Amino acid sequence: MSDVLGALDALGSTDPGLLQLPGLVASLARVQAAATGHYLRRLGELDASGEFEVEGAATTAAWVRRETGKSEREARDDVRLARRLRQLPVVQAASIAGDLPPQTVELVARVAMLLPEELRAATEPALVDAARLMTYEQLRRFLSEKVASLAPDQLKDAIETAYERRRLYLDPLGDMGEVRGSLEPLVAEQLDVVLNALMESDRRADETRTIAQRRADALRLMVEMVCELPEMPQVREALPQLIVVSEEGKPAHTTGGNVLSEGQLDLVRCASDVTTVVVSPGRRPLDVGRSARSVGRRVWLAIVVRDEGHCQVAGCSAPASRCVPHHIVPWRLGGGTDLDNLVLLCVAHHHALHDREINLILYDGRTLTPTGGLPVGAGPPPRRSRHLQVA
Ligand SMILES: [Zn+2]
Ligand SMILES: [Zn+2]
């Protein structure tokens, strides 16, 4: 074992030069695959021998966790795969030779075990051959088709199992709202398609968001769109709304218990519509009538026409359908719902201004701050100097 580690050490300390680098990286991936193959084979042997009990661990997975520092799930997955590979000699051999990346070994082994035992040995070589030739995605499709034709009941079982295992957990309170769970593969794929379309429609010229951040923004967009659907079910004779309680001298909070900053309160007041409603402690709605649909149709049309149908942040062309009428001077500071105090902002820029207090430069040269608008050429107020750079 020290020879192996020594050889790896030697590789790591020599300077391969740029020309040799691609070959070296490819070789290391193969070494990694082969090492995983050997690890799984020996783990399978250890598991079959029951040796781990001697070492004071209740299960093989517990032993793996303790000895390798892997997570519970990783350890369990390793043991399950090692057990499968003991029944799949051809896949095991390819894995040890480093012919297949670990992820592919896992896929082939999992699918091969779905086949009826009498077909398994005869089919194994063909599965491994396919795995050598295909990309992971091609292989996955090929294997699904194989299972569907050779073991149709298994496919039905897999669908049934996925249905039983569907879960969605949502925790809206805390530093971050947490979403996690498992969806049936088709549902997950459909969600992926929808989110990708929304991400594409919300692409920015100066894109600095990560893919994961853009996906989160797409989900927010989806929620806002769904809330506007006429089919949206009513609960206790009202549309499902985020209810914000605002009381003089106290921080505003949602009925769920999330506290809002002043900027966030301005935000929901500007955009207050079907998704959000602001009420006083007596539940008297304060801001009903300030949304895009209810600043009054005439005022809304006037803003859209004046602002040429798109977000007014310099460089942004998000259409009016994706915009809200922002109150330049917020309501709490005396700003009114008249044309001069309103400007079209897309949802993304609107959130940037209120949530993160980022000053925005408009097409007409004014600088928009969270508390008002500065005339052309005037600098941002000294306290806040961050600008959202728009190409
Ligand atoms: Zn606003
Ligand atoms: Zn915008």
The pLDDT tens digits of the residues spanning 163-220 come to 999 999 988 877 888 999 999 988 999 999 999 999 988 887 788 899 999 999 999 8
Percent of the chain with pLDDT over 90: 37
Residue 2 maps to a domain: no
Please give the mean pLDDT across all residues of the chain: 83
Say if residue 191 is in the same domain as residue 58: no
**What pLDDT, in 10s, does the model give residues 234-276?**
655 555 667 777 777 778 887 777 888 888 888 777 765 545 6
For residue 322, report the distance from its CA to the centre of ligand 2, in Å.
9
Q: Please tell me the predicted confidence (pLDDT) of residue 239.
A: 58
Residue 102 maps to a domain: yes
Q: Please tell me the predicted confidence (pLDDT) of residue 308.
A: 85
Say if residue 120 is in the same domain as residue 156: yes
Residue 9 maps to a domain: no
The upper half-sphere exposure of residue 236, i.e. CA atoms within 13 Å in the direction of its Cβ, equals: 2
Q: Please tell me the predicted confidence (pLDDT) of residue 284.
A: 53
For residue 349, report the distance from its CA to the centre of ligand 2, in Å.
5
Of 79-83, 93-97, 119-123, which range is least confident?
119-123
| Ligand sitting nearest the alpha carbon of 269 | 1
For residue 317, report the distance from its CA to the centre of ligand 2, in Å.
7
Say if residue 222 is in the same domain as residue 301: no
150 near 158, Cβ under 8 Å? no
Say if residue 156 is in the same domain as residue 26: yes
For residue 345, report the distance from its CA to the centre of ligand 1, in Å.
8
Say if residue 256 is in the same domain as residue 337: yes
More confident residue, 174 or 98: 98
Say if residue 148 is in the same domain as residue 171: no
Q: Please tell me the predicted confidence (pLDDT) of residue 276.
A: 60
Per-residue pLDDT band at 278 (split at 50, 70, 90): low
Say if residue 194 is in the same domain as residue 160: no
Q: Please tell me the predicted confidence (pLDDT) of residue 90.
A: 96
Residue 293 maps to a domain: yes
Say if residue 90 is in the same domain as residue 160: yes
Q: Please tell me the predicted confidence (pLDDT) of residue 320.
A: 79
Say if residue 277 is in the same domain as residue 367: yes
Does position 125 have pLDDT exceeding 90, yes or no? yes
Q: Please tell me the predicted confidence (pLDDT) of residue 251.
A: 83
| Ligand sitting nearest the alpha carbon of 388 | 2
User: How many domains does the chain divide into?
Assistant: 3
Q: Please tell me the predicted confidence (pLDDT) of residue 15.
A: 78
For residue 259, report the distance from its CA to the centre of ligand 2, in Å.
26
For the chain, what is the HEC assignment? CHHHHHHHHHHHHCCCHHHHHHHHHHHHHHHHHHHHHHHHHHHHHHHHHCHHHCCCCCCHHHHHHHHHCCCHHHHHHHHHHHHHHHCCHHHHHHHHCCCCCHHHHHHHHHHHCCCCHHHHHHHHHHHHHHHHHCCHHHHHHHHHHHHHHHCHHHHHHHHHHHHHCCEEEEECCCCCCEEEEECCHHHHHHHHHHHHHHHHHCCCCCCCCCHHHHHHHHHHHHHHHHHCCCCCCCECCECCCEEEECCCCCCCEECCCCECCHHHHHHHHHHCCCCEEEECCCCCECCCCCCCCCCCHHHHHHHHHHCCCECCECCCCCEHHHEEEEECCCHHHCCCCCHHHEEEEEHHHHHHHHHHCCEEEECCCCEEECCEEECCCCCCCCCCCCECCCC
Say if residue 72 is in the same domain as residue 157: yes
Q: Please tell me the predicted confidence (pLDDT) of residue 263.
A: 83
Say if residue 255 is in the same domain as residue 357: yes
**What pLDDT, in 10s, does the model give residues 285-334?**
554 444 444 566 667 778 888 888 889 999 988 887 778 889 898 877 87
Strand partners, 254: 244
- CB atoms under 10 Å from CB of 118, counted, come to 7
Domain containing residue 314: 242-374
Residue 10 maps to a domain: no
For residue 238, report the distance from its CA to the centre of ligand 1, in Å.
25
For residue 354, report the distance from its CA to the centre of ligand 1, in Å.
7
Q: Please tell me the predicted confidence (pLDDT) of residue 265.
A: 82
Per-residue pLDDT band at 148 (split at 50, 70, 90): confident
Residue 280 maps to a domain: yes
Say if residue 258 is in the same domain as residue 348: yes
| Ligand sitting nearest the alpha carbon of 318 | 2
For residue 277, report the distance from its CA to the centre of ligand 1, in Å.
14
**What pLDDT, in 10s, does the model give residues 341-366?**
889 998 889 888 988 889 999 998 89
CA 253 vs CA 227, 238, 353: distances in Å:
21, 20, 20
Q: Please tell me the predicted confidence (pLDDT) of residue 238.
A: 55
